Amino acid sequence: MIKRLSLIILTLVLSTSGLKAQEGVFSPYSFLGIGNNTFRGTAENRSMGGLGILSDSIHLNLKNPAAYADLKLTAFTAGITRNSVTLESDSQSDDVNFTTLDYLSIGLPFKNFGVGVGLKPVSAVGYQLESSTENQVSEFSGRGGLTNLYFSVGGEPIKNLKIGGTINYNFGDIENKNLIFQNQVQYASRELNFTDLKGFSFELGALYDYEINDKLTLHGSLRYTTASSLDVDSRRELATVQVTNSGDEFVIDEFEASPTNTEVDLPEMIAFGAGIGQIRKWFVGAEYEKYGAANFSNIAYNFGPEVVQKEASAFRLGGFFIPRYNDPVSYFKRIVFRAGLRYEETGLQYRGEDINEFGISFGLGLPAGRLFTNANLGVEYFERGTTDNDLVQENYFSVFLSFSFNDKWFIKSKYN
């Protein structure tokens, strides 16, 4: 068991650099603030529109820490997504494909509670933009984002009432580059902005199950995330550069501005949801999330008067169906069928236009291997933004996959 735990911890440490280094989004809107919000839950959550209401004995629900109270087997899970994005404006469109590592987590059950530790992305920056006038061409690019290392614990102090909490350490870096080429000027002007972010946040969660009768159970959920601040260390480099035909940049003259230290504010969030279903048979539920207004105005280089951060909200609807979870013969009858939809007001307003999202998702839970190990496959289509007022609409088609490996640790020896 110690060897297994050591391997899991080593995997989490090595994956930290992978989550930080990947470009978890390709979106012009990720230029603003600290990037686009990217975590939508596990593959199981995401297949049901992102619902964070349910818990069971073999899956991890990374959206509500109270779910660790139901865990009966050690669970290790990881998820990846393949994204195909079409960016559309009034006059043109472009296609981009990229792959992301979505999360990496382990959950451990104990006698009266469960704990979890893992990594997941919070926000991501990834864009390449170009604007041109008669006398000037400007190129903008960015990468990076914010990652979350968390520790959660959940228990059941009263029958059918589960509560839990999470400590998050948020960390990451963002790099933004602007290149300006002017007609009749030999060299280009380059501006580099480097931003390092770090800080703590906290989450609380509760789940309640009420048995209406022998078949029907009512599920309730409550989640709360505290408002928090991130320390921001910024530095800026200005340079005159020569850019070759292959894109290499050679510095001719360089100036580094004095570094600055400031803070940005992440908003509080409260979510509540309810659903009804038959245990290990079917479920349908809805959830509403409400966010305060974020404040990224201290990041001056990408947060100007055209950008407004307002209160945000999200509505989610989803569910699942299992023909017969314990069928001894038919594999098909043991498959979990999931579906959901979501509508999100992101709180971002740019050039007077609200940048909102609408998505629909479907998924399958596939039994695989021993001790309830399973694979979860899903697809999601969603739209972000608008083509009004010379903006861009992003059309995503995502295929995501996760594996949940289950085993029983901490087995008490029966013989000396």
- Please check whether residue 413 lies inside any domain of the structure: no
Is the per-residue pLDDT at 223 higher than 70?
yes
What is the pLDDT averaged over residues 334-357?
Answer: 94
Q: Which residues constitute the domain of residue 290?
A: 2-407
Q: Residue 412: which pLDDT band, with cuts at 50, 70 and 90?
A: low
For 349, the enclosing helix (H) or strand (E) is strand 336-350
Q: What is the mean pLDDT of the chain?
A: 88
Is the per-residue pLDDT at 212 higher than 70?
yes
Write down the pLDDT at residue 14: 45
- Please check whether residue 61 lies inside any domain of the structure: yes
- Measured from the Cβ of residue 266, the count of other Cβ atoms closer than 10 Å reads 24
Question: For 103-112, how does the pLDDT look when each residue is reduced to its tens digit (9 = 90+)?
Answer: 999 999 998 9
CATH of the domain at 63: 2.40.160.60
- Please check whether residue 22 lies inside any domain of the structure: yes
Q: Residue 8: which pLDDT band, with cuts at 50, 70 and 90?
A: very low
Is the per-residue pLDDT at 66 higher than 90?
yes
Is the per-residue pLDDT at 280 higher than 70?
yes
Is the per-residue pLDDT at 296 higher than 90?
no
- Please check whether residue 199 lies inside any domain of the structure: yes
- Please check whether residue 415 lies inside any domain of the structure: no
Contacts with 329 (C-beta within 8 Å, 6 or more apart), sequence order: none
- Please check whether residue 196 lies inside any domain of the structure: yes
Question: For 146-160, how does the pLDDT look when each residue is reduced to its tens digit (9 = 90+)?
Answer: 999 999 999 999 999
Count of domains in the chain? 1
Is the CB of residue 398 less than 8 Å from the CB of residue 379?
yes
Q: What is the DSSP letter of 295?
A: B
Is the per-residue pLDDT at 239 higher than 90?
yes
- Please check whether residue 257 lies inside any domain of the structure: yes
**The pTM of the whole model exceeds 0.85:** yes
Is the per-residue pLDDT at 125 higher than 60?
yes
Q: Residue 17: which pLDDT band, with cuts at 50, 70 and 90?
A: very low
- What percentage of residues in the chain have a pLDDT greater than 70? 90
Class of residue 413 by CB neighbours under 10 A (exposed 0-12, middle 13-18, buried 19+): exposed
- Please check whether residue 412 lies inside any domain of the structure: no
